[in-house]
Amino acid sequence: MSSFRAKAMRAITGAWFRSVNAEKADVHRMRRVWHGLANTLWTASGVDVRRTDFAGMRAEWLTPQAPARGKAMLYLHGGAYVFGNCATHRQLVSYIARSCGVRALVIEYRLAPENPFPAAIEDSLAAYRALRDEGYGPGDIVVAGDSAGGGLVMALLLSLRDAGEEMPAGAVMFSPWLDLTASGESMTTRAKRDPWFKPPDMPIIASYYCEEEEYRNPLVSAVFADVQGLPPIHIQVGDDEILLSDSTRIAEKIEAAGGEVTLDVWPQMFHVFQVFVHQMPESREAIGKLVPYVRSWLHIGGSSDS
């Protein structure tokens, strides 16, 4: 059974999301509001926040006390490709950085609809390559992302593989958006349980990012990709979200291709519930569960600070 705090956050956030009319929504106004409210979120204690310009983008380095030397996490924020910045994900990533004991870089990739596909992928590649140029080896980097950011994680991995470049040590995805065609069975089976999203709205949201003929492009919807040759992947997803099938299908494909993947489905949880790590015990527990994977991939010994 979910905690009282989880039920409260589900009700509060669900009321806001369900009130949005996707057909009439002003994306730019919503972005300003959401980005402004994000400044009220907490940052994990003991984590230093340093704003910087990285690969030509605004970015932040989140550094815990005594981080593992020479290791880094590249975090690609979610927000349906149209929202999100360092502030919206500072709370979540600061807790991940502290728990894993590793520096984390959050970049502000270009957003749609002003900068549609493939701009965000190009920026993600630029950030990864810039980390390599700064001396981080592929085995020293983990990539992570939530929702659309999870889609970017997959697009980044596929792009690196196809370009013959060395890939990161591993990848983490929270509730990844991996099917812009909205063809997963959870669009039906979870439609009444998802407190945030309505299935009819998904094509409208997808249209901000790319044209409909691109929806099945593997770099847009990784559920249609050849997933051979990818690094280890850890996926966390809520059992009550309409995007559940995006995670289950990609996990099945990776397993069938002989890859290493862990799928962690959380009962009664909603989309990217980990973002409320300061407010919900389930979120803190979920972050704690990914720590052994990240530290193992990066060959970091000892325990972490949760």
Greater confidence (235 vs 22) lies with: 235
Give CA–CA dist 87/126, Å, rounded. 21
147 has catalytic annotation:
yes
pLDDT for the residue 97: 98
| Percentage of residues of the chain with pLDDT beyond 70 | 98
| Percentage of residues of the chain with pLDDT beyond 90 | 89
Average pLDDT over residues 99-116: 98
Q: What kind of fold does domain 4-297 have according to CATH?
A: Rossmann fold (3.40.50)
Judged against a pLDDT cut of 90, whether residue 148 lies above it is answered with yes
User: Could you tell me the residue ranges of all domains in the chain?
Assistant: 4-297
Choosing from 147, 159, 186, 247, the catalytic residue is 147
Average pLDDT over residues 237-262: 98
pLDDT for the residue 21: 84
Judged against a pLDDT cut of 80, whether residue 152 lies above it is answered with yes
> Distance between the two ends of the chain, CA-based, in angstroms?
23
Choosing from 241, 247, 282, 283, the catalytic residue is 241
pLDDT tens sequence across 182-224: 999 999 999 999 999 999 999 999 999 999 999 999 999 999 9
pLDDT for the residue 34: 83
Confidence bin at 23 (pLDDT 50/70/90): confident
pTM: 0.97
Helix (H, G, I), strand (E, B) or coil at 292: helix
The token duo for 202 is 């998904």
Residue-averaged pLDDT of the chain: 96
Furthest CA-CA distance within the chain: 52
DSSP string, 43-107: --TT-EEEEEEETTEEEEEEE-SSPPTT-EEEEE--STTTS--HHHHHHHHHHHHHHHT-EEEEE
Question: Mean pLDDT lowest for which of 1-15, 103-117, 174-188?
Answer: 1-15
pLDDT for the residue 305: 58
Average pLDDT over residues 254-265: 98
pLDDT for the residue 303: 57
pLDDT for the residue 129: 98
φ/ψ bin of 182: left (φ > 0), alpha (ψ from -120 to 50), beta (otherwise): left
pLDDT tens sequence across 273-305: 999 999 999 999 999 999 999 999 999 986 555
77 has catalytic annotation:
no
Choosing from 77, 89, 234, 271, the catalytic residue is 271
Average pLDDT over residues 257-277: 97
